[in-house]
Amino acid sequence: MSDLDTRALPIPPVIASAPVNDATHEIARVWWDGQRPRMMIRASFNDYRTAGVLLAEMAHHFANAYADQLGLDRDEVLAGVKKQWDETHQDQDMKVALSTEAVPAEAKE
């Protein structure tokens, strides 16, 4: 097992314990390199707008995690995430520097 393997998150228990079906798959893998996120993304939704639902749900999960793990106020964390979301989307430098890698076509299924 590599050092990176020990830092990876486990598969969510509800997924790991359920029977695998055609709809079960990983959508994104995100790592932080100390400067910015590095990720692999699978375009797997029939309607790309569903990605917005995923991101909104992730924001709520982040707020819960910071509240549970660090004792921060959940609503303040969520408001801060939303504020930073808006600011980051206005940052022209961020748009140029993106380095998201797509999952190779042969790995999409």
- Residues 4-40 have pLDDT tens digits of 989 999 999 999 999 989 889 999 999 999 988 888 9
Which pTM value belongs to this model? 0.78
Q: Which residues pair with 30 in a beta bridge?
A: 39
How many Cβ atoms are within 10 Å of 63's Cβ, its own excluded? 21
Q: What is the pLDDT of residue 51?
A: 95
Largest Cα–Cα separation, the chain: 44
Give me the residue spans of the domains in the chain: 3-107
CA distances for 65 relative to 41, 68, 70, angstroms = 23, 5, 8
Q: Please list, in sequence order, all residues whose beta carbon lies within 8 angstroms of the beta carbon of residue 30, skipping any fewer than 6 positions away.
A: 37, 38, 39
Residue 67 has pLDDT above 90, yes or no: yes
For 35-56, the pLDDT digits (tens) are: 888 889 999 899 999 999 999 9
